[in-house]
Structure 1
Amino acid sequence: MILKRIKSLLKKEEKKDKEKKGLILFENTKDAMKAEKILSKYNIKVVAPPPEIREGCDLAIEYDLIDEFGIKGELEKNNIEPIKFIPIDDYSLKPLELIKIKEVDGFVMVRCGNMKITLDKEGNIVNISGGGCPDVPYLTLKLKGRNIKDIKEDETPKNLGYTLCAYTLNKAFEKAKELVMKDEG
């Protein structure tokens, strides 16, 4: 059932790729994460910029080009200065997807950046791995062995941790929870 959901999500992503997009590059991850919150009303997605155009941090924001004027205004109003805005009109500039999903022997592993969360069929977190940030062991201790459906908002990686590893683990956590909840519905 989860595999069907994964294939469906991948088809939707392919459809979105055909729209005109741009990338916003940032000096550091703090600015990228802050911009994500500020720009939540726009159709944006945090991605990894392709190595050929990477400057500053390893996070970028993909956005609809039609929203560029409004996005620039929001960032300026909140004192966030991106390195640059780049239209994605060349396939070689396509950003790298941060989230990868893999199903193996009845387990689902969701990866974001270097962080991975693995669930069994019932939604129990059986493993958390990756990264090298100091809060990863703490996050693992707090989440491993629990059912993802039972974890409250204040217990999510973004609220327990403070590093890029916590941020990317939270992205993987959100996608894993989405898969589990869709599988139930």
Structure 2
Amino acid sequence: MDRGFLVFENTSEVIQAENLLKAAGWPVQVMGPPPEIQRGCDLVIAFPLIERLNISRLLEASGFTPLETVPVTGPLLQPVDLFQTTDYGDWLMIRAANMKICIAKATRTIVNISGGGCPDVPYLAAMLVGKTLEEAPSPRALGHTLCGYALQLAYEELVRQCSPS
């Protein structure tokens, strides 16, 4: 399937546009932009290019006009993976943007939250550390900053990687 990128001015617009598009049922994904199209913030929304017109209409009607819409036309325009996974043997850490979440693999208990510089990071850590992935609340429900958003992405990736195949 051919894809395109929606490039926005700031992270807040990316988050709101992602929520809007997912609520409308489109399979979109927030990613790091390839170096060739880095403008605005450090995130883009990848979307099915065949839906470009419908997605553009919905975004414009909702007041979220992207800076530009870029078709993915070649291997140089591949998005940058937002996630870094580090396996420390007994522990597994996922980093998304500037936020890190680490679990004890045997128990799936969150043992550390770190990174960022947003004021809600200590609160997010206090609410998540010591809980299993199943018990922990969604970081997105607790935090409302870029750090909270990045932690949500890391949390979702951790859950995905720890799910039985």
Fold shared per TM-score above 0.5: yes
Question: Once the 2 structures are TM-superposed, how far is the Cα of residue 111 of structure 1 from its aligned partner?
Answer: 1.4
Alignment of 1:51-66 (within 5 A): 51-66=35-50
Question: Does 2:108 align with 1:123?
Answer: yes
Unaligned runs of 5+ in 1: 1-18
Question: Which AA in structure 2 matches 1:174?
Answer: E
Question: Once the 2 structures are TM-superposed, how far is the Cα of residue 110 of structure 1 from its aligned partner?
Answer: 1.3
Query: In the alignment, which residue of structure 2 is the partner of 1:107?
Result: 91
More helix by share: 1
Query: In the alignment, which residue of structure 2 is the partner of 1:89?
Result: 73
Distance in 2 (CA, whole Å) between partners of 1:67 and 1:74 is 11
- Answer yes or no: is the 8 Å Cα contact 2:56–2:65 preserved in 1: no
Query: In the alignment, which residue of structure 1 is the partner of 2:11?
Result: 29
Alignment of 1:35-184 (within 5 A): 35-40=17-22, 41-121=25-105, 122-151=107-136, 155-180=137-162, 182-183=163-164
Q: Secondary structure at the match of 1:140?
A: helix
Structure-2-length-normalised TM-score: 0.92
Identity %: 39
- Answer yes or no: is the 8 Å Cα contact 2:31–2:44 preserved in 1: yes
- Answer yes or no: is the 8 Å Cα contact 2:4–2:71 preserved in 1: yes
Aligned length: 162
Unaligned runs of 5+ in 2: none
Dislocated runs of 4+, deviation >3 Å:
none
- Answer yes or no: is the 8 Å Cα contact 2:109–2:132 preserved in 1: yes
Question: Which AA in structure 2 matches 1:149?
Answer: E
